[in-house]
Structure 1
C-alpha cells in the first residue's frame, strides 16, 4: 500500500486478482475462472445451511467480478476508475455509445489533465532564488591584518559574506483555453547595487503547431518584444522573436532565431542566431536517452565564444543523476562535476563542484521544489588548489549522509508508522470482515482441496505441503515468522490444475481464501511443496508472478 497516498482506506476490490487472471485476460480465460470458482462457491453445491449462507456471499462476489470483466464497457470503466466508476449513477447508460478504447482514452486524458491542474496549483507561482556566497577567505585569507585585534581568536575567523542575490517570480493567468497572461518580476543586487524589472506577457496558442507571444518589460529601460513558435514539418521546428529596448541613448533593436531538427528518436539539433543587442551564433546537439544525456554546443560571438560538452548519467533505480561538464573559450576554462538526487516526490537536491581558470573553485548547491528553484553558489577559492576541491567534494556528501541517516530517515519512518497505525484503526472492522470472508472461503474449499490433493497424489503431481502469506521475516522454513501471517495451504492447493500452479502479478491478498494480515507492510508468500515426490520450497513477493513447479525450487535433502 502506498503510504504517501491520502487515501486511508483499504484498497478497493481487485477483480482480476480475485479471479486470478491477468489484466489483459481474454473472455475465455475470464469464463474459465468464473466456472472454476462457481464450482466451489455456488450455494446449490452445499447442503449445510451455514455453509450455504457463506457460499451465497462469496458466489455473489464471484458473480460481480465476472459481470464486470466479461462486459467490455464495464471493464473499460473499471480499468480506468475502479469500482467507484461503476457506482456512478447513469454512467453505464451514457457510456454505451462509446467503445472501450474510447472510454480508456478519455479517462487517461482526464487523469493527465487533473494531475497537471493539481501540479499547477501546488507549484504556482514558479520562481528562482540565487544567493551567491563569497567564502574565499577560508582558503585565501588576508595576511596583512596583523595588529593586536585581528591577531585575536575572533579576528582569525574567516570572513564569509553574501556577494550577490537574484530573485524572480512568475504567475500565470489563463484567460481562455488558448490565451494565457503571465506576470513576472526580477530583482538582483551585487555588492550593494542592483536593479530589477517587471514583465507582462500575453501568449496565444494558434494550434498544436504554433503560438505567438507579446511581452512588455519595465525596469532597466522599457522594452517590447514579440516571440513566436512554429512546427514546420515532422522533423523541423522554429522559434524566434524581435525586441525593442528603449534607453537614454536611443532605441536598441534585437532579433533572435532558432531552427531545431529532430535527428532521430533521442537526438535534436539546434542552430541559433542573435543580432542587435547581443550578437552571437551557436549550434547545439542534444541526445537524451533513458539512461544518458549528451549535450555538445559551440558559440561564437559576444561576450564570449566557447565549446562545451556535458554528459549526464541517469541511475533510475536510485533517482540519481551524475553530471560531468567541460567548457573552454575566450573566458578561460571550466570543469564541473556533481550529482542530483531526488529526495522526495517533488524535490531534488544537487551538488556541483566547479573548477575554472581564472574563476577558481566554487561549490553550487541547488534545491528544486516543484517549480521553485533555490541556488547557492559558494566561491571557495580564487585559484584551483587541491584542498578546496577536496572539501567541496567530500563535505557535501558527508553532510548529506549525516542529515539523511540522522534526521530524514527517522522522521519518514516515524511518519509512516503513524499513518500505518491510523490506517489499521480506521479499517479495523473492514479487516475483520475480510478475515471472516477468507476463513469462510477456505471452509468452502475443503471438498475441492481434498479432491485436487487426491488426484495429484495418485500421479505424484503438485502437492502443497505448507503455504503461508504475510509478513515473513525469514526466507526459509527455519526462518523467523512474524505473527502477521495467514495459513493459505488450502486456497493455494485449490489453484493447482494439471500439476501446475499459476498466480498472476496482483496482490495476493485479493485471492479467495486470502486477506491482508499485515496492512501497509511488505508481504511474502512462502510455499513448501512436493513434485514427483521431490521436496521444493520458494518465497515470493506479494505482486510477484508465481509459476510452479520449478527445478530451481528443489531442496537438497540429506
Structure 2
C-alpha cells in the first residue's frame, strides 16, 4: 500500500494551463478553449491509425479538463484542494452549494478520516517522554569554587498502542514509568473498546499501584451534545479506592465547544471549560474547583499560517499561586513541530520548556531555572531559545532541509518515471497533431506580418548562464507556442508551462525558463520568462 508521502509526491495536472486559461476563466472562455483544442485533437479529425491513436490520448486529457472546469461543483473542489480532492472518497455527500472555504474544510475532514483509517490499520502508537531538569543553582547563590549543578529531577515515559480486532472492536495497551530521586513506579493497562450506535464502551484492567479495574463509555446525545463517563476501582493494601468521572460536552457554535467535567475520588474536582478555535485564533478558558486547589485559567493562541508559527500566551491563578506562560510553536516538517515556552509563577519560579512533537510522539524538557522570579533567569529563558533556534536552523536544519528536498525531488522523479515518460510521449504526440494548425496559423500571421515564433526553448539553463540551455534538460516548443497565437497575440498565465499541450517537465524540482525569439511587424525580439511567470505578446 502506498504511503501518504508517496501520495504527496504524485504529480498533478493543471487543467487551467492545459487549456491555457486564467484561474478566473468564465464559462464562455472554458467552452472556447475546449472547442479550440477539440478541433486539433478530436480523433475524427485524423485519418491514419497512428495519428488517431495519439489524438485519442490528447482528446481524453482535453475532455477531462473540460469536465472538471465546466462543472461548478468539481471546479470548486479542484480550485480549493487540487486534483487529489477529486479522488477523495466521500464527496458524493457534500452539498454542491458549499463555498470554497467550506469545501477545503470538508476535504480536510475527509483526509483526516482517511488518515485515521490508515492509522487504525496499524498500531496507532502514541507516546510521551518528559524529562524534568533542575538547573536552579545557575541563578542561585553557590560557592564560587564549584560549578553549578544541573540534574535530572524526574523522568516519565508513557506509551500506548491500538490493535484493531474487528471494525468495531479494538484492544488498547498502555504503560507508564515514572522515576524521581532514585525511586520509581509504573503501571500497565489493557482495555477493550467496542464502538456502539452513537457511542462506545470500554472495559479496562491494569496493574501498578495495586490492581485496577474500570468501565468507561460515551454517547452522542444530539448533534451538539456528547456525554462521556466511567468509574475505576483501585485495589490497594489499604483497601479499595473508587473513582467516578464524567464529562458533558456542548457545541455552542461552529467554532466554540463547552464542557463540564466532574471527578469524584481521592482528588475530587469540578471544572468548566470553553474552547473557541478559528482559522487564525484559539481561546481556552477554564475554571476548576477541587482538592487540593481551585483556579481559573485563560490561554490564547495566535496562528500565523503563512510562517507555520503559533504564538501562545497563558495565565493561571488560584489557591496555588499564579503562573504566566508565553511561547512559540514552529512547524518544522509535515509531521513535526517544536515548542519553546517560558513559565513564570509563584511558587514555581522560572521554567524554560522545550517540546518536540513528532506525529503522535512528544518529548518534553522542562528546565527549572530558578525557584523565585529572577530577572536574569527570565531574560536568559527568553533569549536562549531564539539563539538556539538560529544556531540549529543554520547549522543543522537548513542543510537537512536542502538534503530532504533533494531526496524528495529524486523520489518524485523515480515515482513518476512512467508518468513523465508518458507526458513526454504525449508532448511529442501533441506536436505531431498540431502540424496542420501550426501551418495555418503561420500562414495567417505571415500574411498580416503578425506574431511569428521563430524559435522557443523550454527547460533549464547551464549554471552561471541565463541564456545557455542544458541540452539534456530542455527542448524546442516553437510549434506548440505558435499554435497558441490568436489574432497576432500570445498570452500565457501564472503557472508552470510544463502542463501546456506539447510541453512536459524535463527536470522536476529545478528552475526552468522559457525563451522566445519572435518577430512582430517584421521586427525581431527576444524574451525570457520564468516557469511560473505570466506573458503577453506583443
| TM bracket (short chain) | 0.7 to 0.9
Deviates more, 1:507-516 or 1:390-399: 507-516
The equivalent residue for 1:295 is 284
CA drift of 1:244 comes to 2.0
The equivalent residue for 1:61 is 57
Equivalent positions of 1:84-483 (< 5 A) are 101=92, 115-119=115-119, 124-143=124-143, 151=145, 156-207=146-197, 209-417=198-406, 420=409, 438=427, 441-442=430-431, 445=434, 447-449=436-438, 451-452=440-441, 469-471=458-460, 483=470
Q: Distance in 2 between matches of 1:294 and 1:533?
A: 66
Q: Distance in 1 between matches of 2:125 and 2:19?
A: 47
CA change 1:324–1:531 in 2 (3 A) is: farther
CA change 1:452–1:215 in 2 (3 A) is: same
Q: Distance in 2 between matches of 1:71 and 1:296?
A: 48
Q: Distance in 2 between matches of 1:109 and 1:135?
A: 44
How many residues are aligned here? 509
Contact 1:335/1:356 (8 A) holds in 2: yes
CA drift of 1:169 comes to 1.2
TM-score by length of structure 1 reads 0.74
CA shift digits 1:114-155 (9 cap, x unpaired): 643544577743211111111111111423xx7xxxx3xxxx
Deviates more, 1:56-65 or 1:374-383: 56-65
Equivalent positions of 1:505-516 (< 5 A) are 507-516=496-505
The equivalent residue for 1:492 is 481
Q: Distance in 2 between matches of 1:399 and 1:439?
A: 53
Partner secondary structure for residue 232 of structure 1: strand
Q: Distance in 1 between matches of 2:439 and 2:503?
A: 19
CA drift of 1:34 comes to 6.0
Contact 2:460/2:474 (8 A) holds in 1: yes
Contact 2:512/2:531 (8 A) holds in 1: yes
Partner secondary structure for residue 392 of structure 1: helix
Contact 1:42/1:55 (8 A) holds in 2: no
Q: Distance in 2 between matches of 1:422 and 1:366?
A: 30
CA drift of 1:363 comes to 0.9
CA drift of 1:455 comes to 5.5
Q: Distance in 2 between matches of 1:201 and 1:433?
A: 51
CA change 1:482–1:203 in 2 (3 A) is: same
**Unpaired segments of 5 or more residues in structure 1?**
87-98
Deviates more, 1:347-356 or 1:242-251: 242-251
**Unpaired segments of 5 or more residues in structure 2?**
97-106
Q: Distance in 2 between matches of 1:243 and 1:119?
A: 28
CA shift digits 1:170-223 (9 cap, x unpaired): 12121221111111111111112221111111111112x211112222111222
CA change 1:456–1:293 in 2 (3 A) is: farther
CA change 1:100–1:163 in 2 (3 A) is: closer
Contact 1:500/1:547 (8 A) holds in 2: no
CA change 1:423–1:311 in 2 (3 A) is: closer
Deviates more, 1:228-237 or 1:242-251: 242-251
CA shift digits 1:8-55 (9 cap, x unpaired): 9984877775455799999998886565345446799799xxxx7984
Partner secondary structure for residue 405 of structure 1: helix
CA shift digits 1:81-138 (9 cap, x unpaired): 999x99xxxxxxxxxxxx99489x9x99997666435445777432111111111111
CA drift of 1:302 comes to 0.9
CA drift of 1:227 comes to 1.5
Q: Distance in 1 between matches of 2:376 and 2:108?
A: 54
Contact 1:470/1:518 (8 A) holds in 2: yes
CA drift of 1:412 comes to 3.1
Q: Distance in 1 between matches of 2:264 and 2:91?
A: 54
CA change 1:439–1:141 in 2 (3 A) is: same
Contact 1:43/1:53 (8 A) holds in 2: no
Q: Distance in 2 between matches of 1:162 and 1:178?
A: 43
Contact 2:497/2:531 (8 A) holds in 1: no
Q: Distance in 1 between matches of 2:467 and 2:286?
A: 58
Q: Distance in 2 between matches of 1:536 and 1:290?
A: 46
Q: Distance in 1 between matches of 2:52 and 2:155?
A: 71
Q: Distance in 1 between matches of 2:261 and 2:426?
A: 68
